[in-house]
Structure 1
Amino acid sequence: MTPFRALGIAVAVAGSVFLFFGLNASDAPLAQASEALTGSYSNHTLWYIAGGLGAMIAGASMALPSRR
């Protein structure tokens, strides 16, 4: 396994952890009350979800073999 592929796997795992925390934060009662009043989640929750998805996509693209 190349170091680049190992780094991609690590980035994808870290992204899934951030996504997990973001989704758990969006299910919290205080976050749901805030979302009901304002119509959107807090900035921290959105950054966790968006950053987690982005890191998972970037890590998966780094970990998958290239077709060169």
Structure 2
Amino acid sequence: MQHEGEEVHIDTEEVSGGDKDRSLVRMVVIGTVLAIGLLSAVWITGAVRFDQAHPEAEATTAGP
């Protein structure tokens, strides 16, 4: 940290605490991709297993 009159100049390494690792960014991106993949797999397998030939049959069996 350098003082020049009333101004304080701080370099980027000092501000970031010396941590330039992108592991947190990678973890968030990988987690988001995995979550999207898992939710898509659940959605697709549910849509495939749903009986589309007789959709009214499922609605009538539910009952009040």
| TM-score tier after normalising by the smaller chain length | 0.3 to 0.5
Higher helix proportion, which one? Answer: 1
Name whichever structure is richer in strand by fraction. 2
Larger Rg: 2
TM-score calculated relative to the size of structure 1 = 0.42
